[in-house]
Structure 1
């Protein structure tokens, strides 16, 4: 059955099924099956323009895909960009060669905040790695010196007096058989409890009718909270689109801001000193836009150890 389903999906049908489809198509169009097909030289026969730009696809779609005449549809997810950030980001106004005073001060403030965060992170790491050793006091020093000089008496545990044999106190409890009167009384009690519970449920349902307004208010508040959470989640997802993702074991390190102090600003373009590197900037941009993963420089490792040898000329000089 699975093989037949696969063949049917590919357009391969048994002869009986094909004949049945032909009969149905003929009945729908009003043409008899026994009629001969229309001749090629019949002017009433359907035709297509030979010199048109496109050709009609009369073959089966599966046949066209297998013969590479019909391209497979490209998934939409492959057309999505990995990040919404632009390829080239415009720097802040304070990064100009002749910036405005307030713009330059704003850029200096941002650079200062970055340095403060780095310093706090280093201090936090130093506090975590610091060894907290207990400092010696006079009391601890005295105890350490006296230890071993005073002999402590060994105290032997005393055994409890009395018989060690287990004794059973009191007679064993025996379960007496209930009488018929007791069983009837318990049955009537159970029935009354069930009736009381059913009546209580009916009363609760009747009371809920008077609480419709409060229930409606609580449901409305719940819907508002749900909408608020959905909006927050959507905002977080939109914010994450512009953030670099974790593509490898290394995290993306934001490059330092290229900023000059107030006394380092150039008066003209001729005296301007170039800063930064275009290659590094493009490399960091590719990492930030999730096109390549963050990397670190490979460490140089020698395959063989260095071998020192003295030449004959050096020996003769000595």
Structure 2
């Protein structure tokens, strides 16, 4: 008995996998494949029979005759082959050529320029600004100058040498290596000669000094109040400057204290333990005390809830109507307030316009002041030779008690060497640097046991470690017991 399998009539096709499984599309794929082949190679109906078929009438005899009667063709040279390949398309550009023979559906296609070729409105405005400032003219001049330099360099490299005074065999002579004539001798070794060669050609050239070094004075004139015998008025002016400087420094210090240490409140150890106990015992049942039983009232063994039950009392029609009326009245008053504000704003337009004009005038004045101040700061600013800025100058001041009026008894308040060093940094001749302090190495002390060590010595070491060493024990021979790790 044979069983025949029949295909299901109704199958779920709710996704692509089901469509591919239960639909036969081989004929569609074959048709599309033939169509793609015709697009690549062309249609067979349009091609001539000579292109598709060849009529062979001679057979094998013609092939043998061709091999025997092969003419002597002169082989092309490598240069001729390369010249013949110039007309061909390079292999690297064959990928860019269209491989399909499908014609363009839009024969009259407009040419589209690539992005960036057409000037935009923003680029036109920027070009106009550059033209007004003169940057475009400078760029053109720079391009011409660079072209001229490149042309002269190329011309110089191609120029033929006219003088023939070079000694081709004189490279090994000491004078050719830059060694002075005074060191050229048979008693001086070549190592000593090369050691004394001038290093100007091997070292990197020193950069030119900044402009600020030339423009600024090497020694700035101090304030007249710094003199050993100043007038009262000049001394008071200097005193006011020092006071202002100290006030600024005090404000900065107070600000740092406020935003760092002042933000945190200090608590005692007892308060800290109390807070920790409260945080750790949060949510835990409190311990039962016998005093709490006295406060409790006698119960009648009846269960009573802590929170009494709430009754779901419904609102009647009157309460709901009153509620709607209150909401409507509230909305009406809100709308009236908004409409009234619109009317008052219309009358305020003139005043608002005057306020805007006044504000713009103030902004123009402030902008000019800021620009002027910025130029002054840029004129006095030190050149940025590195990331570290030089330390600002501290105002020099002599206390009225120290004023003597005589140069022999005057006290020095500043260090001349440090002042000159800081002056070079402020003028831009030297790069500013940070003072790097090395940390002292912590030397560990240890106990070195020995056969001469007694119990009293061990007790002294324990007392010293716990901070109970007396002056008398220090004077004793405790140094023999303690040894420094660095002096081992």
Q: TM-score w.r.t. structure 1 length?
A: 0.42
Q: Which has the larger radius of gyration?
A: 2
Q: TM-score w.r.t. structure 2 length?
A: 0.29
Q: Taking CA–CA contacts closer than 8 Å with sequence separation of 6 or more, which of the two structures ends up with the larger relative contact order?
A: 1
